[in-house]
Amino acid sequence: MFVYKLFMFVLSLSATVASPGSIKTFKLNDGRDMPGIGLGTWLGFISTNRNTKSDEVENAVKWAIDAGYRHIDTASIYDTEDQVGNAINKKIAEGAVKREDLFVTTKLWNDAHAPYTVLPALRNSLKKLNLDYVDMYLIHWPIAQYLNGTFYDVDYLETWEAMIAVQKKGLAKSIGVSNFNIAMLERLISNSRVKPANLQVEINLNLQQPELLEYCKEQNIVVTGYTPFGSIFPNRARIEAPPPRVDDPKLVDIANKYNKTVPQIVLRYLVELNIIPIPKTITKSRVEQNIDIFDFKLTQEERDLFKSYDKNYRTIEPKMWQESPYYPFEKKNPSLTHDENLITFSNGNILAPKLKLNDGREIPALALGTWLGNNTKPSSNEVELAVQWAIEAGYRHIDTAWAYKIEDQVGRGLANKFPDVPRNEIFVTTKLWNDRHARDAVVPALRESLKKLNLDYVDLYLIHWPVGQFANLTYDPTDYLETWRGMMDAKELGLTKSIGLSNFNEQMIDRILENGLEMPAVLQVELNLNLQQPELLEYCKQKNIVVMGYTPFGSLFYSKAKPNAPPPRVDDPALVKIAEKYNKTVPQITLRYLIELGVIPIPKSLTKSRIEQNIDIFDFKLTKEEKLVLKSFDREYRTIPQLKWLDNPFYPFKRPHM
């Protein structure tokens, strides 16, 4: 390996810049030309041991254009469109390239498959790219999902018709699909007057997909290959990944023969398969090396060697989508697989997956709660320690509130970890208390919370309750519509990135929307085994509002259960049996159940081991039968009914019979 690294270093010193004219181009079935290599801009999920620079993709794109690339690949979900656009526009302004010389690809994400959402999604991408059109617009996956991660019933045929419409408007010169299989392509072609011009799929030495390539050749569909290096780099290969690696002696010999690197000859092999590879890198020398592959050809013997590495092994296999009727790959046992959204970093801890909010931002799917109860007075640093332990365990979402009286401790806990974890990787939620419901009181209240938190902004600000109440406990008659306008003011000032509600019901949210006000990004409510609120969850799914669940353990623990609380308890035999099956605790399978309902649970704990256990829930999935057992415990029983506010007109819950 040392000899190979030395060889790569020496080679990088003599890297050449490719002439755009020397790069192979493909004629699309709509008559346009597509460059035969592109720069990929998906950096993967970022772990805490890597500080993401705000301009690293922008720099990579500029280096790529200087090196001769004329094809840049991005996507809405990559969160890099703005950097791609900055680089392109700067290079155009410099006179280094003309817009018509570039081929820009972006993609429609799963949450915008409904036909009426395709055009707005593309316009949003164009706004971030600062371009009038893209050259290629792809359906990223055939799977439609709401922002909370649950599936919704939109056929990709409907989405495709909307793609045709945006092409007709000139906003996308060509259209195609990504991660579709042969059966899906056949169905699409037989039911549409427009054939996809491009298919983007994973292609590398371990996954060469010859049948799919032959089908696309017959249909005159150009194929783009993402993840072209597959598992050749040891630091990115999973344990079970088949060979080769970058130091494979046979590959090194071939590379030496052509005075190239192993990644270069891998890319060359894909080019000779008539694939457009889109390697990604943010290192200047590698950007230049990856395009320097058009001055040699492999022999038949060398191509046969490369072909021998095909093992039908996928590096990108989103098994958490297997329940979708449009899952494009071979299905495997879902109860024993790991979430592909899971991010693992070097110390073995994990980051939770993220959900997309309806304002375009992302929110981690699990949070640390910091409310210790009305009768608990925290010590001077116990919440501070809990926050530090949580971040060390992989939490990236901390939930607090002004009323909890611990924002200062949360702030200190965060400050102690910020040297290791960038601020933009932490999602902080806090809440407006009932005594600040007047519109002109909202911004000052948030500024006070920010002062305690020692932050410039929070990621999410919630109205804690719809009930307004002065400090003397008499009711404030302020309509929550006015309070919501104050929340919009706070967002406009940049003091919070997103805004939402807590303890509101469907009718209250409808009233906000009927008055033409901003859609809440999040609703936080009580959710646990005894209070599963299926109608509310379905409503939020339809409105694309992400749901957070507080008090996720409900009455599981004997010490916290009221005498009239329904079962189960933590020692319930049915729950214990499920927990033992997965080598988990009953609280862990309870949290996992909420995750699978599309809810963001916010468990609270001051115990280090429990904090660590609560996030360790992303390496298994419950079966349908197990979920039915957990569902059966729903009794519409609230642990926090707030009966003291029953006489308030904005009391949000069903009033009990008195």
pLDDT tens column, 376-407: 666 779 999 999 999 999 999 999 999 999 99
452-475: buried (b, 16+ CB within 10 Å) or exposed (e) per residue? bbebebbbbbbbbbbbbbeeeeeb
Pairing relationship of beta strands 103-108 and 362-364 according to DSSP bridges: unpaired
Sheet holding 496-502, edge to edge: 368-369, 397-399, 427-432, 458-463, 496-502, 522-526, 546-550, 599-601
CA-to-CA distance for 141 and 113, rounded, in angstroms? 10
pLDDT band (50, 70, 90) for residue 643 = very high
Q: How far apart are CA 548 and CA 425, in angstroms?
A: 19
**Residue type for position 118:** V
Place of tokens 């009305």: 374
**Alpha carbons within 13 A on the beta-carbon side of 269:** 29
In the prediction, which pLDDT does 598 show? Answer: 94
Tens of pLDDT, residues 192-239: 999 999 999 999 999 999 999 999 999 999 999 999 999 999 888 888
Q: CA 523, CA 526: separation in Å to the nearest integer?
A: 10
Q: Which of 1-5, 82-86, 483-487, 633-637 has the lowest mean pLDDT?
A: 1-5
Looking at the predicted structure, is the pLDDT value of residue 348 above 50? no
User: At the top level of CATH, which class does the domain 2-12+20-307 belong to?
Assistant: alpha beta
Please, are residues 129 and 81 in contact by the beta-carbon 8 Å criterion? yes
Catalytic residue among 404, 480, 582, 593: 404
Of 8-17, 217-226, 257-266, 380-389, least confident by mean pLDDT is 8-17
Architecture of domain 353-645: Alpha-Beta Barrel (3.20)
CB 176 within 8 A of CB 138: yes
**Active-site residue, 309 included:** no
Residue spans of the domains in the chain: they are 2-12+20-307, 353-645
Query: Given phi > 0 = left and psi -120 to 50 = alpha, else beta, which region is 213?
Result: alpha
**Partners of 431 in the β-ladder:** 462
> Do the domains at 2-12+20-307 and 353-645 have one common CATH topology?
yes
Per DSSP bridges, beta strands 172-178 and 134-139 are parallel
DSSP states of 279-338 as a string? -B---HHHHHHHH--SS----HHHHHHHHTT-----S---GGGTTSTT--S----GGGSP
